């Protein structure tokens, strides 16, 4: 199945030197053969939003059909170091944005680990700091960052001017800006919709492409209206895209600005809707205050199922996991099961969308999102002669997520075989040991 050409037929596919070299109805012979009878042969899935970028995460992602894992929302402050760390020993392809969050944290000496909890969250930047923030982002773009990442909700004191200036910078490199918007939820005037207005305006006025991350956990009940805004912007010629993950809960750091006073009203939830990831316990006012001082990851049950379905049913909304680093036995299951969950629960069982549309949201659309900035993506997300042999083979009658909120560290089922740059990393549903065919997915380096 190839979402670009629409081909949905029985073919033999030949691979040589990491690329697809032939697609034919005739029998093809080679040194190795994979019998894919009865299975779907699809382009490998591309995850635009994955915070888990360690070897253990890549194992889970491979078993969920992912061949390219990208950290484009939070991103990094040091693009060279990020790529150097993974070079030569990665199971799957990897890539990163230069992130406004970690850059602001470095420049403003924030004590937070993954997300800011001090000055980078709560203080306006001085003119000198603004200059350093822009200079660091500029350097990241020159070093081949795929995009600019932003999480304005986490850097709540960043002025609208600071945000527009970062968009301006991204525009000069043709880099998309992947944004966690300034607000989420439904409390006026700080709604997800108001926040989307800021980002669309910044994109329209600067020319930087905009990618709105996890639209359901920003929009909640208002998700249909947010998608309408994205569609409307596109109809009027703007380069605006979005993504969603297929779960009723979000996940983030308890010490972040998202849980500054007023969070209950903004999200429309209370303490019992928060789950402490480490132990799985639901919170009370007392435990909330205790853990907020400690810091750590929360699972936040706040997304209506209707919003999830609306996003998946809309053909422009891409699938992306927002997977988290694995810090203990409990973590949000989305990093382990997003893609199989969409194919099993929403395509096969729920019939919310058809299989080709789902594959398109996982392969071609993410590749097209990045291919102007990083031409390497012109050869990803497709089953086409000349394309990279990143291929996911699965059983459409079996595929299903196994990671749950109770037992999140479970491989998905039904993924039979995964190839990265022509090298099998999963065969007959099992990991191939000792292979590291993943390569850097990176924009051209300027100096
Ligand atoms: Zn986010």
What is the secondary structure of 114-139 as a DSSP string? Answer: SS--SHHHHSPPPHHHHHHHHHHHHH
Give the rounded distance of the alpha carbon of 12 from its chain centre: 31
Strand (E) or helix (H) holding 244: strand 240-244
What's the pLDDT at 73? 98
Q: How far is the CA of 185 from the centre of ligand 1 (A)?
A: 13
Q: How far is the CA of 214 from the centre of ligand 1 (A)?
A: 7
> Position of tokens 């081949």?
144
CB-based contacts of 239, cutoff 8 Å, min separation 6: 176, 203, 209, 210
What is d(CA 372, CA 389) in angstroms, rounded to the nearest whole number? 20
> What integer best gives the mean pLDDT of the chain?
96
At 28-75, the pLDDT tens digits run: 999 999 999 999 999 999 999 999 999 999 999 999 999 999 999 999
Mean pLDDT value of segment 117-130: 96
Q: How far is the CA of 219 from the centre of ligand 1 (A)?
A: 12
> Position of tokens 């639901």?
282
What's the pLDDT at 353? 98
Mean pLDDT value of segment 220-240: 97
CA atoms within 13 A on the CB side of 301: 13
Q: How far is the CA of 184 from the centre of ligand 1 (A)?
A: 10
Q: How far is the CA of 218 from the centre of ligand 1 (A)?
A: 9
Mean pLDDT value of segment 386-390: 98
406 pLDDT more than 90: no
327 pLDDT more than 90: no
The backbone torsions φ and ψ at residue 221, rounded to the nearest 5 degrees and listed phi first, read: -60, -25
The backbone torsions φ and ψ at residue 106, rounded to the nearest 5 degrees and listed phi first, read: -65, -45
Q: How far is the CA of 212 from the centre of ligand 1 (A)?
A: 10
Angle at 175 between CA 446 and CA 213, to 5 degrees: 140
What's the pLDDT at 388? 98
Mean pLDDT value of segment 371-384: 98
Q: Residue 217 — pLDDT band, cuts 50, 70, 90?
A: very high
Q: How far is the CA of 368 from the centre of ligand 1 (A)?
A: 21
Q: How far is the CA of 324 from the centre of ligand 1 (A)?
A: 10
What is d(CA 277, CA 141) in angstroms, rounded to the nearest whole number? 34
Q: Residue 356 — pLDDT band, cuts 50, 70, 90?
A: very high
What's the pLDDT at 41? 98
What's the pLDDT at 268? 87
At 266-286, the pLDDT tens digits run: 888 999 999 998 888 999 999
Contact 153/184 with Cβ under 8 angstroms? Answer: yes
At 1-25, the pLDDT tens digits run: 999 999 999 999 999 999 999 999 9
- Within 10 Å of residue 340's Cβ, how many Cβ atoms? 26
Q: How far is the CA of 213 from the centre of ligand 1 (A)?
A: 6
What is d(CA 46, CA 387) in angstroms, rounded to the nearest whole number? 14
What 8-state DSSP symbol labels residue 176? Answer: -
Q: How far is the CA of 104 from the centre of ligand 1 (A)?
A: 16
Q: Which residues surround ligand 1, an ion (CB under 5 A)?
A: 180
Contact 128/352 with Cβ under 8 angstroms? Answer: no
Q: How far is the CA of 191 from the centre of ligand 1 (A)?
A: 15
Q: How far is the CA of 369 from the centre of ligand 1 (A)?
A: 18
Q: How far is the CA of 178 from the centre of ligand 1 (A)?
A: 10
What is d(CA 214, CA 324) in angstroms, rounded to the nearest whole number? 14
Q: pLDDT exceeding 90 applies to what percent of the chain?
A: 93
**Helices and strands (DSSP H and E) totals, the chain:** 15, 18
Q: How far is the CA of 333 from the centre of ligand 1 (A)?
A: 15
* Alpha carbon distances (Å) from 320 to 182, 219, 347, 407, 437: 20, 16, 16, 21, 22
Q: How far is the CA of 151 from the centre of ligand 1 (A)?
A: 7
Q: How far is the CA of 263 from the centre of ligand 1 (A)?
A: 16
Contact 41/417 with Cβ under 8 angstroms? Answer: no
Q: How far is the CA of 180 from the centre of ligand 1 (A)?
A: 5
What's the pLDDT at 410? 97
């Amino acid at each position: 199945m190839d979402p670009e050409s629409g081909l949905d037929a029985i073919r033999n596919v030949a691979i040589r030197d990491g690329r697809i070299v032939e697609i034919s109805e005739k029998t093809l012979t080679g040194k190795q053969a994979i019998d894919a009878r009865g299975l779907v042969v699809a382009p490998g899935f591309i995850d635009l939003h994955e915070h888990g970028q360690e070897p253990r995460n890549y194992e889970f992602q491979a078993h969920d059909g992912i061949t390219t894992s990208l950290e484009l929302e939070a991103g990094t402050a040091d693009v060279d170091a990020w790529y150097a760390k993974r070079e030569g020993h990665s199971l799957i392809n990897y890539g990163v944005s230069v992130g406004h969050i970690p850059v602001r944290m470095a420049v403003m000496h924030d004590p937070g680990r993954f997300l800011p909890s001090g000055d980078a969250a709560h203080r306006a930047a001085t003119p000198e700091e603004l200059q350093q923030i822009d200079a660091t982002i500029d350097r990241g773009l020159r070093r081949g960052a795929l995009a600019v990442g932003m999480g304005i909700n986490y850097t709540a004191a960043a002025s609208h001017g600071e945000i527009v200036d970062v968009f301006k910078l991204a525009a000069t490199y043709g880099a998309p800006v992947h944004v966690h918007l300034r607000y989420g939820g439904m409390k006026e005037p700080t709604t997800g919709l108001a926040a989307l207005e800021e980002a669309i305006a910044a994109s329209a006025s600067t020319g930087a492409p905009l990618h709105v991350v996890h639209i359901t956990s920003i929009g909640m009940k208002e998700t249909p209206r947010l998608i309408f805004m994205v569609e409307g912007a596109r109809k009027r010629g703007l380069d605006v895209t979005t993504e969603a993950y297929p779960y009723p809960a979000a996940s983030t750091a308890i010490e972040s600005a998202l849980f500054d006073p007023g969070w209950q009203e903004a999200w429309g939830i209370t303490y019992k809707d928060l789950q402490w990831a480490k132990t799985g316990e639901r919170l009370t006012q007392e435990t909330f205050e205790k853990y907020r001082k400690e810091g750590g990851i929360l699972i936040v049950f706040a997304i209506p199922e209707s919003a999830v379905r609306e996003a998946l049913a809309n053909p422009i909304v891409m699938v992306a996991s927002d997977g988290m680093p694995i810090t203990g036995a409990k973590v949000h299951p989305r990093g382990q099961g997003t893609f199989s969950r969409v194919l099993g629960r929403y395509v096969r069982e729920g019939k919310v969308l058809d299989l080709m549309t789902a594959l398109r949201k996982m392969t071609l659309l993410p590749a097209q999102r990045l291919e102007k900035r990083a031409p390497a993506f012109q050869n990803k997300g497709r089953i086409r002669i000349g394309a990279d042999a990143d291929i996911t083979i699965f059983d459409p009658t079996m595929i299903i997520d196994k990671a749950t909120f109770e037992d999140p560290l479970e491989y998905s089922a039904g993924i039979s075989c995964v190839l990265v740059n022509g090298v099998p990393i999963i065969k007959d549903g099992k990991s191939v040991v000792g292979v590291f065919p993943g390569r850097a997915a990176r924009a051209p380096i300027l100096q």
